[in-house]
Structure 1
Amino acid sequence: NGYHGDTFGAMAVCDPVNGMHGMFRSVLAQHIFVDAPDCREDELWQASSIASLEAALRKHHQHLAAVIIEPIVQGAGGMRIYCAEY
């Protein structure tokens, strides 16, 4: 659900479904995406909120160089305010 800009490098880490990946798939670097957390700022932390991230890390850990996590408050990507524990 993230938005990081319109240059190729930034687009490559934007939302793969609602972003511009489909139009530029052949020239964008491929990344592993996980589900956005379902926890909100006014809710109690649930470990299930990071289940998708944990599964991806277990499966791909030998091939990862970095993890990009959205900020607590996103701007252009939408105002989804996650609980701080996330």
Structure 2
Amino acid sequence: MQGIDNIEHRKLIQIFEKYKYEAAALKAASEEDAKICRNMEELDVLYNCFKVLLSELQRCTREYEMKKKSTRSIIHKNLRKIKAEVEKKS
């Protein structure tokens, strides 16, 4: 699974802020400026969505690991009981 690099995202935001500052100095908003602003807004929304999903995935992974350990423990316990019963019958 490929993730989104937090540092790379923050650097992109810094570059965008610098761009906005420089563009504001020119006081001439272009179509490209509007497109860049929309794209950055969309990137922020997607990044925040990614962080939420990553958190959910981590929670799910922890729950899976706990359930796996619990289930494995129960299986091994019951296998030992079955093995003991089989040995008694033999």
Larger Rg: 2
Structure-2-length-normalised TM-score: 0.27
Q: Which has the higher helix share?
A: 2
Structure-1-length-normalised TM-score: 0.28
